[in-house]
Amino acid sequence: MSKVKTVMQKNSQLIIPLIALLAIVLFNVIRCVVIGNFSFFEIRLTENTNILSGNVINILKDASELAILAMGMTLVTSASRGQDISVGASAAIAGSVFVKILLANPANWGVIIIAILASCVVAMICGAFNGILVSIFKIQPMIATLILYTVGRSIAYWINGGATPTIAKDHPVLYLGGFFPGNPIPTPIFIVIICAIIFVLVLKFTNLGLYTQAVGINEKAAHLNGINPIKMKLLTFIILGVCVALAGVIRVSRLALINHETILLGVEMDAILAVAIGGNSLGGGKFKLSGSIIGAYVIEALTNTLYAMKVASTDVKAYKAIVIILIVVMGSPVVKKHTSRLWSKLFKKKEIPATAGASSSKGGM
Protein backbone atom coordinates (compact mmCIF):
# COMPACT_ATOMS: atom_id res chain seq x y z
CA MET A 1 0.00 0.00 0.00
CA SER A 2 2.80 2.40 0.80
CA LYS A 3 4.39 1.70 -2.56
CA VAL A 4 1.19 2.82 -4.23
CA LYS A 5 1.26 5.88 -2.00
CA THR A 6 4.78 6.81 -3.05
CA VAL A 7 3.87 6.34 -6.69
CA MET A 8 0.85 8.57 -6.17
CA GLN A 9 2.88 11.22 -4.40
CA LYS A 10 5.54 11.23 -7.07
CA ASN A 11 2.98 11.61 -9.81
CA SER A 12 0.60 13.82 -7.90
CA GLN A 13 0.74 16.49 -10.54
CA LEU A 14 -0.81 14.11 -13.05
CA ILE A 15 -4.00 13.90 -11.04
CA ILE A 16 -5.53 17.03 -12.50
CA PRO A 17 -4.99 16.21 -16.17
CA LEU A 18 -6.09 12.64 -15.66
CA ILE A 19 -9.21 13.71 -13.87
CA ALA A 20 -9.92 16.19 -16.64
CA LEU A 21 -9.56 13.46 -19.25
CA LEU A 22 -11.70 11.14 -17.23
CA ALA A 23 -14.33 13.80 -16.80
CA ILE A 24 -14.55 14.35 -20.52
CA VAL A 25 -14.83 10.64 -21.16
CA LEU A 26 -17.50 10.35 -18.51
CA PHE A 27 -19.35 13.30 -19.92
CA ASN A 28 -19.43 11.65 -23.30
CA VAL A 29 -20.56 8.37 -21.82
CA ILE A 30 -23.45 10.11 -20.16
CA ARG A 31 -24.22 11.97 -23.33
CA CYS A 32 -24.26 8.77 -25.32
CA VAL A 33 -26.54 7.16 -22.80
CA VAL A 34 -28.88 10.10 -23.09
CA ILE A 35 -29.03 10.14 -26.86
CA GLY A 36 -29.18 6.39 -26.97
CA ASN A 37 -26.20 5.47 -29.09
CA PHE A 38 -22.51 5.09 -28.53
CA SER A 39 -21.38 6.03 -32.00
CA PHE A 40 -19.10 8.65 -30.47
CA PHE A 41 -16.85 5.96 -29.15
CA GLU A 42 -17.06 3.74 -32.18
CA ILE A 43 -13.92 2.75 -33.94
CA ARG A 44 -14.63 1.49 -37.39
CA LEU A 45 -12.55 -0.14 -40.03
CA THR A 46 -13.73 1.33 -43.30
CA GLU A 47 -14.55 -1.27 -45.89
CA ASN A 48 -12.63 -0.61 -49.04
CA THR A 49 -9.71 1.45 -47.81
CA ASN A 50 -9.18 -0.56 -44.63
CA ILE A 51 -8.34 2.30 -42.33
CA LEU A 52 -9.47 3.03 -38.81
CA SER A 53 -11.89 5.85 -38.32
CA GLY A 54 -14.13 7.24 -35.68
CA ASN A 55 -14.12 10.00 -33.12
CA VAL A 56 -11.57 8.45 -30.83
CA ILE A 57 -9.20 8.00 -33.75
CA ASN A 58 -9.82 11.58 -34.78
CA ILE A 59 -8.96 12.86 -31.34
CA LEU A 60 -5.74 10.90 -31.30
CA LYS A 61 -4.88 12.00 -34.80
CA ASP A 62 -5.80 15.65 -34.48
CA ALA A 63 -3.92 16.08 -31.27
CA SER A 64 -0.67 14.94 -32.82
CA GLU A 65 0.80 18.33 -33.67
CA LEU A 66 -0.33 19.70 -30.34
CA ALA A 67 1.17 16.83 -28.37
CA ILE A 68 4.53 17.18 -30.07
CA LEU A 69 4.56 20.93 -29.52
CA ALA A 70 3.53 20.46 -25.90
CA MET A 71 6.54 18.25 -25.31
CA GLY A 72 8.94 20.88 -26.60
CA MET A 73 7.09 23.69 -24.87
CA THR A 74 7.40 21.89 -21.56
CA LEU A 75 11.18 21.97 -21.74
CA VAL A 76 11.29 25.62 -22.77
CA THR A 77 8.88 26.63 -20.03
CA SER A 78 10.89 24.71 -17.47
CA ALA A 79 14.28 26.18 -18.25
CA SER A 80 13.37 29.68 -19.35
CA ARG A 81 10.47 30.25 -16.96
CA GLY A 82 8.25 31.64 -19.67
CA GLN A 83 6.27 30.76 -22.77
CA ASP A 84 7.11 30.64 -26.45
CA ILE A 85 4.19 32.15 -28.31
CA SER A 86 5.83 31.92 -31.71
CA VAL A 87 5.45 28.19 -32.35
CA GLY A 88 2.52 28.64 -34.70
CA ALA A 89 4.34 31.23 -36.74
CA SER A 90 7.54 29.16 -36.79
CA ALA A 91 5.56 26.14 -37.89
CA ALA A 92 4.24 28.24 -40.77
CA ILE A 93 7.80 29.06 -41.75
CA ALA A 94 8.89 25.45 -41.47
CA GLY A 95 5.85 24.32 -43.43
CA SER A 96 6.55 26.85 -46.16
CA VAL A 97 10.11 25.67 -46.56
CA PHE A 98 8.87 22.11 -46.63
CA VAL A 99 6.36 22.76 -49.37
CA LYS A 100 8.75 24.87 -51.38
CA ILE A 101 11.31 22.09 -51.54
CA LEU A 102 8.69 19.47 -52.28
CA LEU A 103 7.18 21.35 -55.15
CA ALA A 104 10.50 22.28 -56.68
CA ASN A 105 11.63 18.70 -56.95
CA PRO A 106 10.37 15.34 -58.18
CA ALA A 107 8.04 13.46 -55.89
CA ASN A 108 10.13 10.81 -54.21
CA TRP A 109 11.10 9.87 -50.68
CA GLY A 110 14.62 11.21 -50.97
CA VAL A 111 13.24 14.67 -51.62
CA ILE A 112 10.74 14.30 -48.83
CA ILE A 113 13.43 13.43 -46.33
CA ILE A 114 15.57 16.33 -47.43
CA ALA A 115 12.56 18.62 -47.18
CA ILE A 116 11.88 17.44 -43.65
CA LEU A 117 15.49 17.98 -42.67
CA ALA A 118 15.48 21.42 -44.23
CA SER A 119 12.37 22.46 -42.38
CA CYS A 120 13.93 21.11 -39.19
CA VAL A 121 16.98 23.26 -39.76
CA VAL A 122 14.88 26.33 -40.45
CA ALA A 123 12.75 25.77 -37.36
CA MET A 124 15.86 25.20 -35.31
CA ILE A 125 17.19 28.52 -36.52
CA CYS A 126 13.95 30.16 -35.39
CA GLY A 127 14.37 28.40 -32.08
CA ALA A 128 17.94 29.55 -31.84
CA PHE A 129 16.86 33.12 -32.52
CA ASN A 130 14.41 32.98 -29.66
CA GLY A 131 16.91 31.12 -27.54
CA ILE A 132 19.63 33.68 -28.03
CA LEU A 133 17.32 36.53 -27.10
CA VAL A 134 16.26 34.70 -23.98
CA SER A 135 19.53 33.23 -22.81
CA ILE A 136 22.09 35.83 -23.82
CA PHE A 137 20.04 39.01 -23.85
CA LYS A 138 18.08 37.90 -20.80
CA ILE A 139 14.75 38.86 -22.35
CA GLN A 140 11.54 37.44 -21.03
CA PRO A 141 10.53 34.50 -23.25
CA MET A 142 7.08 35.80 -23.99
CA ILE A 143 8.47 39.14 -25.12
CA ALA A 144 11.30 37.63 -27.12
CA THR A 145 8.98 35.26 -28.96
CA LEU A 146 6.55 38.09 -29.61
CA ILE A 147 8.89 39.13 -32.40
CA LEU A 148 8.57 35.90 -34.38
CA TYR A 149 4.91 35.77 -33.52
CA THR A 150 4.47 39.12 -35.25
CA VAL A 151 6.76 38.44 -38.15
CA GLY A 152 6.73 34.67 -38.66
CA ARG A 153 3.67 34.20 -40.81
CA SER A 154 4.69 37.07 -43.04
CA ILE A 155 8.07 35.46 -43.54
CA ALA A 156 6.26 32.25 -44.45
CA TYR A 157 4.20 34.15 -46.98
CA TRP A 158 7.33 35.67 -48.43
CA ILE A 159 9.03 32.28 -48.70
CA ASN A 160 6.23 31.05 -50.92
CA GLY A 161 6.28 34.22 -52.98
CA GLY A 162 2.95 35.41 -51.76
CA ALA A 163 1.09 32.28 -52.72
CA THR A 164 -0.59 29.42 -50.87
CA PRO A 165 0.70 26.48 -52.80
CA THR A 166 -0.93 23.08 -52.76
CA ILE A 167 0.48 19.62 -53.04
CA ALA A 168 -0.72 17.21 -55.69
CA LYS A 169 -3.13 14.53 -54.55
CA ASP A 170 -0.89 11.67 -55.43
CA HIS A 171 2.24 12.95 -53.76
CA PRO A 172 3.66 10.32 -51.42
CA VAL A 173 4.24 12.89 -48.70
CA LEU A 174 0.53 12.85 -48.03
CA TYR A 175 1.04 9.50 -46.37
CA LEU A 176 2.67 11.38 -43.54
CA GLY A 177 -0.51 13.24 -42.85
CA GLY A 178 -2.78 10.37 -43.66
CA PHE A 179 -2.14 6.68 -43.90
CA PHE A 180 0.69 4.64 -45.22
CA PRO A 181 -0.69 2.12 -47.68
CA GLY A 182 -1.67 -1.04 -45.88
CA ASN A 183 -1.58 0.63 -42.48
CA PRO A 184 -4.90 1.18 -40.71
CA ILE A 185 -3.50 3.56 -38.12
CA PRO A 186 -3.08 7.21 -39.10
CA THR A 187 0.57 8.12 -39.50
CA PRO A 188 0.56 11.19 -37.24
CA ILE A 189 -0.22 8.93 -34.31
CA PHE A 190 2.91 6.94 -35.08
CA ILE A 191 4.96 10.07 -35.31
CA VAL A 192 3.75 11.17 -31.89
CA ILE A 193 4.57 7.83 -30.38
CA ILE A 194 8.04 7.85 -31.88
CA CYS A 195 8.58 11.41 -30.71
CA ALA A 196 7.45 10.55 -27.21
CA ILE A 197 9.71 7.53 -27.09
CA ILE A 198 12.67 9.62 -28.18
CA PHE A 199 11.94 12.19 -25.50
CA VAL A 200 11.62 9.54 -22.83
CA LEU A 201 14.86 7.90 -23.89
CA VAL A 202 16.70 11.20 -23.94
CA LEU A 203 15.35 12.12 -20.52
CA LYS A 204 16.36 8.77 -19.17
CA PHE A 205 19.81 8.45 -20.65
CA THR A 206 20.98 12.01 -20.32
CA ASN A 207 20.76 14.67 -17.67
CA LEU A 208 18.49 16.86 -19.75
CA GLY A 209 15.72 16.71 -17.18
CA LEU A 210 17.94 17.44 -14.19
CA TYR A 211 19.83 20.28 -15.84
CA THR A 212 16.72 21.89 -17.31
CA GLN A 213 14.91 21.83 -13.99
CA ALA A 214 17.96 23.08 -12.10
CA VAL A 215 18.33 26.02 -14.48
CA GLY A 216 14.65 26.80 -14.22
CA ILE A 217 14.53 26.63 -10.45
CA ASN A 218 17.75 28.46 -9.64
CA GLU A 219 19.92 29.55 -12.52
CA LYS A 220 22.73 30.93 -10.39
CA ALA A 221 23.00 27.75 -8.38
CA ALA A 222 22.96 25.68 -11.56
CA HIS A 223 25.83 27.81 -12.88
CA LEU A 224 27.87 27.30 -9.74
CA ASN A 225 27.37 23.58 -10.06
CA GLY A 226 28.98 23.56 -13.45
CA ILE A 227 25.87 23.70 -15.62
CA ASN A 228 25.87 26.20 -18.44
CA PRO A 229 22.46 27.89 -18.21
CA ILE A 230 22.88 29.62 -21.56
CA LYS A 231 23.54 26.39 -23.39
CA MET A 232 20.65 24.68 -21.62
CA LYS A 233 18.13 27.37 -22.46
CA LEU A 234 19.35 27.52 -26.03
CA LEU A 235 19.12 23.75 -26.24
CA THR A 236 15.51 23.70 -25.08
CA PHE A 237 14.55 26.25 -27.70
CA ILE A 238 16.30 24.28 -30.40
CA ILE A 239 14.56 21.09 -29.30
CA LEU A 240 11.28 22.97 -29.49
CA GLY A 241 12.35 23.99 -32.98
CA VAL A 242 12.53 20.36 -34.01
CA CYS A 243 9.07 19.81 -32.55
CA VAL A 244 7.82 22.83 -34.46
CA ALA A 245 9.19 21.44 -37.70
CA LEU A 246 7.51 18.09 -37.12
CA ALA A 247 4.22 19.79 -36.33
CA GLY A 248 4.44 21.91 -39.45
CA VAL A 249 5.31 18.93 -41.64
CA ILE A 250 2.45 16.84 -40.29
CA ARG A 251 -0.09 19.61 -40.69
CA VAL A 252 1.02 20.41 -44.23
CA SER A 253 0.91 16.75 -45.16
CA ARG A 254 -2.56 16.49 -43.73
CA LEU A 255 -3.99 19.48 -45.52
CA ALA A 256 -1.93 19.07 -48.68
CA LEU A 257 -1.38 22.80 -48.76
CA ILE A 258 0.18 25.62 -46.84
CA ASN A 259 -1.74 28.73 -45.96
CA HIS A 260 0.50 30.94 -43.90
CA GLU A 261 -2.43 32.75 -42.35
CA THR A 262 -4.34 29.79 -41.06
CA ILE A 263 -1.92 26.92 -40.56
CA LEU A 264 -1.79 25.97 -36.90
CA LEU A 265 -3.35 29.30 -36.01
CA GLY A 266 -3.53 29.68 -32.28
CA VAL A 267 -1.68 26.44 -31.60
CA GLU A 268 0.77 28.23 -29.33
CA MET A 269 -1.99 29.04 -26.93
CA ASP A 270 -3.17 25.45 -26.94
CA ALA A 271 0.36 24.21 -26.39
CA ILE A 272 0.84 26.49 -23.40
CA LEU A 273 -2.54 25.37 -22.11
CA ALA A 274 -1.52 21.75 -22.49
CA VAL A 275 1.57 22.38 -20.39
CA ALA A 276 -0.49 24.12 -17.73
CA ILE A 277 -3.23 21.53 -17.67
CA GLY A 278 -0.53 18.93 -17.29
CA GLY A 279 0.22 20.36 -13.89
CA ASN A 280 3.46 22.05 -14.87
CA SER A 281 4.19 25.48 -13.52
CA LEU A 282 4.27 28.16 -16.19
CA GLY A 283 6.86 29.85 -14.03
CA GLY A 284 9.43 27.18 -14.77
CA GLY A 285 11.19 24.54 -12.76
CA LYS A 286 10.00 21.02 -12.21
CA PHE A 287 8.09 19.39 -14.99
CA LYS A 288 6.49 16.14 -15.99
CA LEU A 289 6.37 15.53 -19.71
CA SER A 290 3.54 13.04 -19.43
CA GLY A 291 1.37 15.75 -17.92
CA SER A 292 1.74 17.98 -20.94
CA ILE A 293 1.02 15.13 -23.32
CA ILE A 294 -2.14 14.24 -21.44
CA GLY A 295 -3.00 17.92 -21.45
CA ALA A 296 -2.79 18.00 -25.23
CA TYR A 297 -5.24 15.14 -25.56
CA VAL A 298 -7.53 16.74 -23.01
CA ILE A 299 -7.74 19.85 -25.14
CA GLU A 300 -8.37 17.87 -28.31
CA ALA A 301 -10.96 15.67 -26.64
CA LEU A 302 -12.73 18.75 -25.42
CA THR A 303 -12.79 20.34 -28.86
CA ASN A 304 -13.95 17.13 -30.45
CA THR A 305 -16.73 16.66 -27.91
CA LEU A 306 -17.98 20.15 -28.59
CA TYR A 307 -18.07 19.50 -32.32
CA ALA A 308 -19.88 16.25 -31.71
CA MET A 309 -22.45 18.25 -29.83
CA LYS A 310 -22.93 20.29 -32.98
CA VAL A 311 -21.51 23.41 -31.47
CA ALA A 312 -20.62 25.81 -34.28
CA SER A 313 -16.91 26.13 -34.88
CA THR A 314 -16.96 29.83 -34.10
CA ASP A 315 -18.63 29.21 -30.76
CA VAL A 316 -16.33 26.42 -29.67
CA LYS A 317 -13.92 28.91 -28.19
CA ALA A 318 -16.40 30.10 -25.63
CA TYR A 319 -17.12 26.66 -24.25
CA LYS A 320 -13.47 25.73 -24.34
CA ALA A 321 -12.77 28.76 -22.22
CA ILE A 322 -15.19 27.69 -19.51
CA VAL A 323 -13.78 24.20 -19.27
CA ILE A 324 -10.23 25.52 -19.19
CA ILE A 325 -11.09 27.84 -16.34
CA LEU A 326 -12.61 24.97 -14.43
CA ILE A 327 -9.53 22.84 -14.92
CA VAL A 328 -7.00 25.47 -13.91
CA VAL A 329 -9.08 26.64 -10.98
CA MET A 330 -9.11 23.07 -9.74
CA GLY A 331 -5.36 23.02 -10.02
CA SER A 332 -4.82 26.40 -8.42
CA PRO A 333 -2.73 26.42 -5.24
CA VAL A 334 -5.49 27.98 -3.19
CA VAL A 335 -8.00 25.31 -4.14
CA LYS A 336 -5.37 22.62 -3.69
CA LYS A 337 -4.69 23.86 -0.18
CA HIS A 338 -8.33 23.69 0.77
CA THR A 339 -8.87 20.27 -0.72
CA SER A 340 -5.76 18.85 0.93
CA ARG A 341 -6.97 20.22 4.25
CA LEU A 342 -10.28 18.52 3.64
CA TRP A 343 -8.46 15.36 2.63
CA SER A 344 -6.34 15.23 5.75
CA LYS A 345 -9.34 15.91 7.92
CA LEU A 346 -11.18 13.01 6.37
CA PHE A 347 -8.21 10.68 6.34
CA LYS A 348 -6.01 11.68 9.25
CA LYS A 349 -2.46 11.14 8.13
CA LYS A 350 0.49 10.86 10.45
CA GLU A 351 3.65 12.48 9.22
CA ILE A 352 7.14 12.01 10.48
CA PRO A 353 7.90 15.08 12.62
CA ALA A 354 11.28 15.94 11.24
CA THR A 355 10.99 19.23 9.50
CA ALA A 356 9.05 22.44 9.63
CA GLY A 357 5.98 24.10 8.23
CA ALA A 358 3.87 22.96 5.34
CA SER A 359 3.41 26.21 3.52
CA SER A 360 6.73 27.89 4.08
CA SER A 361 9.57 26.89 1.88
CA LYS A 362 12.01 28.76 4.03
CA GLY A 363 13.78 26.52 6.47
CA GLY A 364 13.30 26.14 10.13
CA MET A 365 10.92 27.51 12.58
Partner 1 sequence: MQKDIVLTMRNVSKAFPGVKALQDVDFTLRKGEICALMGENGAGKSTLIKVLTGVYHMDAGQVNIAGIDKAITIRSPQEAQNMGISTVYQEITLCPNLTVAENMFIGRGKYNFINWRDMEKKAKEILDNLDIPARPSQQLSNCSLAVQQMVAIARAVDADCKVLILDEPTSSLDDQEVAKLFALMRDLKSKGVGIVFVTHFLEQVYEVCDSITVLRDGKLVGEYDIKNLPRVQLIAKMMGKEFDDLSALNKKEISSTEDGETPVLEAFGLSSAAGVKPFDFKIKKGEVNGFTGLLGSGRSESVRAIFGADRITGGKVKMHGKTVRIAKPIDAMKQKIAYLSEDRKGDGLIADLSVRENIILALQVKKGFFKPFSRAEAEAFADKYIKLLEIKTASADTLIGSLSGGNQQKAILARWLLTNPEYLILDEPTRGIDVGTKVEIQKLVLKLAAEGMSITFISSEIEEMVRTCSRLIVMRDRKIVGELGSSEITQDNIMHTIAGGGNS
Partner 2 sequence: MSKNNTVSGRKGREPITDTKLLLTITICVFFAMYVLAMLIWGGGFLKPQQFINLFNDNAYLIILSCGLTIVMISGGIDISVGGVTALVTMCCVVFLNSSGGSILGSLCIALGIGLAFGLVQGLLVAYLDVQPFIVTLAGMFFARGMTTIVNKEPATVSMEAFKALKDMRIEISWLGAQSKGGWIPARIELGAVIALVVVLAVFVILRWTRLGRNIYAVGGNNQSALMLGINVKRTKFYAHLFCGLLAGIAGYTFLLHIGAANPAGDANMAEMKAIASSIIGGTLLTGGVGNIIGTLFGTLTLETIRNIVVTSGLKEPWWQSITYGAMLCFFILLQSVVLARRGKGGLALPKWLNFGKKKSDDESAT
CA-to-CA dists, residue 88 to 45, 66, 289, angstroms? 33, 10, 20
Q: For residues 64 and 48, what is the distance between their CA atoms, to the nearest angstrom?
A: 25
Q: Which does 227 bind (CB under 5 to 8 A by kind): partner 1, partner 2, none?
A: partner 1
| CA 286 – CA 81 distance, rounded (Å) | 10
Residue 157's binding partner out of partner 2, partner 1, none, with CB under 5 to 8 Å set by partner kind: partner 2
Backbone angles phi, psi at 218, to 5 degrees: -150, 95
Q: 183: exposed, middle or buried (C-beta count within 10 Å: 0-12, 13-18, 19+)?
A: middle
CA 85 distance to own-chain centroid: 12
Amino acid identity of residue 93, one-letter, is I
Task: For residue 362, state whether it binds partner 1 (rule: CB under 8 A).
Answer: yes
Do the Cβ atoms of 240 and 75 come closer than 8 Å?
yes
- C-alpha 35/C-alpha 17 separation (Å) is 27
* Count, residues near partner 2 per rule CB under 8 A: 48
Contact of residue 149 among partner 1, partner 2, none (CB under 5-8 Å per partner type)? partner 2
Grouping H, G, I as helix, E, B as strand and the rest as coil, residue 249 is helix
| Site string (273-292) toward partner 1, x via CB under 8 A | ------------xx------
Looking only at residues 172 through 211 of this chain, which bind partner 1 when binding is defined by CB under 8 A? 204-208, 210-211
Residue 245 CB, nearest distance to partner 2 (Å)?
21
**Binding residue (CB under 8 A) for partner 1 from 224, 322, 334, 346:** 224
Instruction: Please pick, from the candidates 194, 335, 356, 358, the single residue that binds partner 2 as defined by CB under 8 A.
Output: 335
Residue 293 identity (one-letter amino acid): I
Compute the C-alpha angle 323/92/288, nearest 5°.
45
Task: Please tell me what DSSP assigns to residue 136.
Answer: T
Among 43-51, 95-103, 139-147, 349-357, the segment contacting partner 1 (CB under 8 A): 349-357
CB of 211 to partner 2, least distance (A): 17
Residue 110 in contact with partner 1, rule: CB under 8 A:
no
Residues that bind partner 1 (CB under 8 A): 204-208, 210-211, 213-214, 217-218, 220-228, 285-286, 344, 350-358, 361-365
Residues that bind partner 2 (CB under 8 A): 83, 133, 135-140, 142-144, 146-151, 153-155, 157-158, 162, 230, 269, 272-273, 276, 282-283, 312, 314-322, 324-325, 328-329, 332-335
